[in-house]
Chains A and B, each alone.
Chain A
Amino acid sequence: MANAHAAESASHAHEHVHEHVHEHVHYTTTGLDHKKIAIWAFIGSECMLFISLISTYLIYKGRSVVGPFPHEAWTSPSGQLFAPILNIPVTSASTFVLLMSSLFMVLALEAVEHKGNPAYANNIRGNSKFWLMATAIAGATFLGFQAYEFTSFVHEGLTIRTNLFGSSFFTLTGFHGAHVTVGVLWILTLFAMDYSRGLTKKDTVLVDICALYWHFVDVVWIAIFTLVYLIK
């Protein structure tokens, strides 16, 4: 199905194409940037990656032979009764932070895209550095929450080796966390570029692909939050 769409777009592009035949600058069939196509293909692939991880988590849900459990109270070998381990209030907060980071990211893109537009000059809307840094900080905050969550789980006796829940939970959220980490580093790199040479309208695509990645990571968290944390 992907192909049929692309077919049309290609024939669209066709009309624009003739003028460019003789210039040696890089010609692309669709007029789109390579990187953007690649990142979307990458995101498609990531869908399968996270679906596999999420499926595993769901398949193993309720199959652990020893506690701790996510939503059920459990008794330790020494006979102590423990509460369910997932901490919804804290995670809700971190979810909110990640959601906000997506807003910041989109505003950062907006700012870069409108470089040179007077309406955006000299106000917060055009301040790409600010929005980039805000996104990175929000992302880092999310990671902080996750670090807190992980360590408190370990204190409560849940490690990646404890049971099926522990293995699948830490691997799923850990993979997500790793993606967030890469995202934060990527955004910081953009920030550094903005700081050192200043991003211009021409750099839109660089910010765009990073933003797409970042939003995707956010979207994955939306699914995880519901499937792992809220649904019993």
Chain B
Amino acid sequence: MTDHEHADHAHEHPTWKQYKWVALILTLITVVEVWVYYTPFKDSPLFVPTLLIMSAVKFAIVVLFYMHLRYDHKLFKALFTGPLIIAICTLTALMFLFGKFSL
């Protein structure tokens, strides 16, 4: 394995402190998610979008910081986001096709 300089400076990881902050934020969002579930907001039309946004944020945080995609080689971003986009488009298309949402 070549210990490339190149490979190394691609590894500016977040620090200990950051990790803890990230964990805290993730926990908070989770708490809000569950809390919202038990409030009357649950029956609001905004409930589903709110939850989706919150989980998307969590998703992104884990991927960017814990999976250090934010700091890693561009190649990995491409390897992950490309498939993810195709997957999400597929999911969306299927939801329309099976009448789960409609315009």
Residues of A within 8 A of B (CB): 1-6, 8-9, 12-13, 16, 20, 25-28, 30-33, 36-37, 40-41, 43-45, 47-48, 50-52, 54-55, 58-59, 88, 92, 95-96, 99-100, 102-103, 105-107, 110, 113, 125, 205, 211-212, 215-216, 218-219, 222-223, 225-227, 230-232
Contacts and interface: CB of A to CB of B under 8 A. Distances in A.
Interface string B11-24: 10100100110110
B15 to A, nearest CB: 9
Using C-beta atoms within 8 Å of the partner chain, give the interface range for chain B: 35 or more
Contact of A215 (B16, B42, B47, B67): B67
* Main SS class of interface, A: helix
Contact of B34 (A27, A28, A92, A218): A92
B79 A26 contact: no
The secondary-structure label for the interface of chain B is helix
A1 B82 contact: yes
B73 A9 contact: yes
Nearest to A205: B1
Interface in B80-94: 80, 82-84, 86-88, 90-91, 94
Given A47-B87, A106-B66, A6 B75 contact: yes
Contacts of B52: 226, 231
